[in-house]
């Protein structure tokens, strides 16, 4: 059945709805003074890169990647702490692996070696609420805080916000403005503008990001076809299919276009998988491979026409013009709103293609040779280097001199082109990130209501400790309200009873949170 209630534009939501940002399960446990797990004896002699526990202890106590464990023995009574990097099984039991090595001889079974998980909440089978339950409560508390304050301390994605354009005429002001007008956004604390679309009477002009538009001309002809996106020297393959890592060409061109957009966006609504680039690459400070949804944003149908997908780069303004797009069926799929570069082949030697000229082509990207696709990693004035076949055998096809090559490069519609226009105080537009106000100079929309359509990421860059405290206490209250948790929480005649703790936590929340509520005033 076709997906319903899908207008093309995704709803405003956290960039990663499942991310634990405002607090942690351990901070909740520390507030409630819940101690760590009980220690367990090792199941076998330790290795330099891991320790062994029994399967029963693994199931009962609970152990997860990134948990901190304490390892001690008669040979080392003080013990050492390590962070679990992976968990595997062997004939010796369940192995808790870590990257920092230990002196294995000090932690043998004969030395009475014990392992203790320092996490208070785990996903074990025998100890009250699981860590996963606490993290679910944290996610709920995060949403409650965002809704109450009309602000956020995590990245949030706004995909389609329609706003008015206010102009400022010099004769109406006692002072001169170096901008034509402004557009205040619904949210402030803007981390990144993803799109700024200006209504021109019949279509939107994109000045915030480089874009390409893909039209599904004939969905019935799409069988085994693919769309390719490149962000520099790597490319991603988006193939037609029926799995979670493909897009379906079914029903009609509208549904097909939406399926392609869902795959690019890794839409959780339809359980799409992340499509990584090849060769893989990571960003500084991250161990996860960059995927398509980290580099591109897609919108199907919506304001662009039925069966049309708008794909824009998430790189800032003209930075996205280094991205390229290709497809394997130019009759069933058409690509527009791009810079088109063409040249002709001269010869092919191994992975180097000699052409008439490479002027206008990006330094690394995708090239279409008819319905075949070629990837390259470098260029000179007359050659493409590091070439590989992506679809078909274009390296063989290009061996014939005079064969045409075409590249679709994502384009941004700035005043005077990307060579002269850009984001800046005296350029096309600029933004006050803290206040969430866009100032237009050389580029601006028609003087109409809802003439500006924007996509952006907003949220405070720094998580204040007060917000962390509020979230931690919200989750603690939820746990204290459950009878099955009270047995784990310290309480005695000299301490504050549980009901009083709940009241005190609520008083702290009510005293702190109102100071962070955003007030929107309209004139």
- Per residue in 480-513, pLDDT tens? 887 555 445 555 545 667 788 888 899 999 999 9
Mean pLDDT of the chain: 88
Q: How many angstroms separate the CA atoms of 122 and 128, rounded?
A: 9
**Region 124-130 average pLDDT:** 72
Residue 139 has pLDDT above 60, yes or no: yes
pTM (two decimals): 0.84
What whole-number percentage of the chain has pLDDT above 70?
A: 92
Asked if residues 136 and 504 have their Cβ atoms less than 8 Å apart, the reply is no
Tokens of 233: 């020297």
Tokens of 88: 């595997």
The alpha-helical segments, DSSP class H, found in 115-232 are 131-149
The string of pLDDT tens digits covering residues 302-354 is: 888 899 999 999 998 899 999 999 999 999 999 999 999 999 999 999 999 99
**Region 12-26 average pLDDT:** 90
Q: What is the 3-state secondary structure (H, E, C) of 17-85?
A: CCCCCCCCHHHHHHHCCCCCCCCEECCCCCECCEEEECHHHHHHHCCCCCCEEEEECCCCCCCEEEECC
Residue 212 has pLDDT above 60, yes or no: yes
Asked if residues 267 and 245 have their Cβ atoms less than 8 Å apart, the reply is no
The reported pLDDT for the residue numbered 426 is 78
The reported pLDDT for the residue numbered 281 is 86
Confidence of residue 448 (pLDDT cuts 50, 70, 90): confident
- Greatest mean pLDDT among 64-68, 179-183, 389-393 lies in 389-393
All residues at 6 or more sequence positions from 62 whose CB lies less than 8 Å from its CB, including other chains: 37, 117, 119, 122, 123, 124, 125, 127, 130, 131
| Torsion sign over Cα 76, 82, 85, 87 | positive
Confidence of residue 394 (pLDDT cuts 50, 70, 90): very high
Q: How many angstroms separate the CA atoms of 25 and 33, rounded?
A: 12
Residue 201 has pLDDT above 70, yes or no: yes
**Region 57-66 average pLDDT:** 88
Give all strands (DSSP E) within 277-363, no chain letters.
296-300, 308-313, 323-327, 333-336, 338-349, 352-355
The reported pLDDT for the residue numbered 423 is 82
**Region 446-464 average pLDDT:** 89
**Structural domain spans, the chain:** 37-117, 131-152+462-516, 156-206+414-458, 211-410
Residue 262 has pLDDT above 80, yes or no: yes
The tokens 């799929």 sit on which residue?
333
Within 13 Å and on the Cβ side, how many CA atoms surround 361?
29
At residue 468, φ and ψ (nearest 5 deg) are: -60, -45
The string of pLDDT tens digits covering residues 362-375 is: 999 999 999 999 99
The reported pLDDT for the residue numbered 490 is 53
Cis preceding linkage at 156, omega within 30: no
Give all strands (DSSP E) within 208-307, no chain letters.
211-216, 226-231, 235-239, 296-300
Residue 522 has pLDDT above 70, yes or no: no
Short-list 365, 357, 355, CA closest to 388: 365
What are the angstrom distances between the C-alpha of 211 and each of 15, 197, 323, 374?
21, 11, 9, 21
First CA to last CA distance, the chain: 47
**Region 288-301 average pLDDT:** 92
Residue 424 has pLDDT above 90, yes or no: no
Residue with more model confidence, 388 or 441: 388
The string of pLDDT tens digits covering residues 27-38 is: 999 998 888 888
The reported pLDDT for the residue numbered 1 is 42
What is the DSSP annotation of 408-422? EEEB---TT-TTT--
Q: How many angstroms separate the CA atoms of 261 and 267, rounded?
A: 8
The reported pLDDT for the residue numbered 496 is 64
Residue with more model confidence, 127 or 253: 253
Strand, coil or helix: 176:
coil
């Amino acid at each position: 059945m076709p997906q319903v209630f899908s207008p093309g534009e995704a709803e405003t939501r956290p960039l990663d709805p499942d991310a634990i940002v405002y607090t942690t399960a351990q901070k909740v446990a520390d507030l409630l003074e819940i101690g760590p797990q009980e220690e367990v004896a090792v199941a076998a002699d330790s290795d330099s890169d891991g320790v062994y526990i029994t399967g029963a202890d693994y199931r009962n106590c609970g152990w997860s990647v990134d948990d901190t464990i304490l390892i001690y023995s008669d040979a080392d009574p003080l013990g050492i702490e390590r962070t679990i990097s992976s968990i595997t099984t062997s004939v010796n039991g369940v192995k808790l692996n870590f990257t920092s090595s230990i002196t294995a001889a000090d932690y043998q079974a004969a030395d009475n070696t014990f392992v203790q998980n320092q996490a208070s909440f785990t996903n074990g089978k025998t100890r009250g609420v699981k860590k996963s339950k606490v993290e679910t409560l944290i996610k709920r508390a995060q949403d409650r805080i965002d809704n109450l304050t009309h602000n956020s301390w995590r990245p949030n994605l706004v995909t389609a916000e329609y706003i008015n354009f206010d102009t400022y005429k010099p004769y109406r002001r006692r002072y001169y403005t170096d901008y034509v007008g402004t557009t205040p956004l619904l949210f402030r604390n803007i981390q990144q503008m993803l799109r700024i679309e200006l209504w021109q009477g019949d279509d939107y002009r994109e000045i915030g990001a480089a874009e390409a538009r893909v039209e599904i001309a004939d969905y019935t002809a799409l069988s085994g076809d693919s769309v390719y996106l490149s962000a520099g020297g790597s490319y991603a393959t988006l193939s037609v299919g029926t799995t979670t890592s493909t897009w379906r060409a079914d029903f009609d061109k509208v549904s097909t276009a939406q399926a392609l957009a869902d795959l690019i966006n890794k839409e959780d609504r339809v359980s799409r998988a992340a499509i990584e680039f090849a060769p893989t690459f990571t960003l500084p400070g991250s161990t996860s491979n960059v995927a398509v949804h980290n580099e591109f944003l897609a919108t199907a149908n919506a304001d662009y026409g039925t069966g049309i997908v708008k794909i824009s780069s998430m790189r800032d303004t003209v930075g996205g013009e280094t991205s390229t797009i290709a497809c394997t069926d130019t009759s069933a799929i058409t690509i527009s709103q791009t810079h088109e570069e063409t040249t002709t082949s001269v010869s092919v030697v191994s992975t180097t293609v000699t052409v008439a000229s490479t002027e206008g082509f990006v330094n690394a990207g995708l090239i279409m040779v008819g319905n075949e696709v070629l990837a390259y990693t470098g260029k000179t004035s007359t050659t493409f280097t590091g070439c590989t076949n992506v679809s078909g055998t274009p390296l063989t096809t290009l061996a014939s001199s005079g064969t045409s090559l075409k590249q679709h490069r994502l384009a941004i519609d700035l005043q005077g082109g990307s060579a002269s226009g850009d984001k800046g105080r005296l350029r096309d537009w600029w933004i006050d990130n803290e206040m969430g106000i866009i100032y237009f100079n050389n580029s601006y929309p028609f003087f109409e209501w809802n003439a500006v359509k924007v996509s952006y990421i907003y949220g405070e860059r720094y998580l204040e400790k007060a917000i962390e405290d509020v979230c931690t206490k919200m989750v603690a209250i939820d746990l204290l309200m459950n009878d099955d948790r009270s047995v784990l929480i310290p309480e005695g005649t000299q301490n504050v009873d549980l009901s009083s703790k709940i009241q005190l936590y609520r008083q702290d929340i009510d005293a702190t949170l109102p100071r962070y509520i955003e007030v929107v005033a309209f004139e």
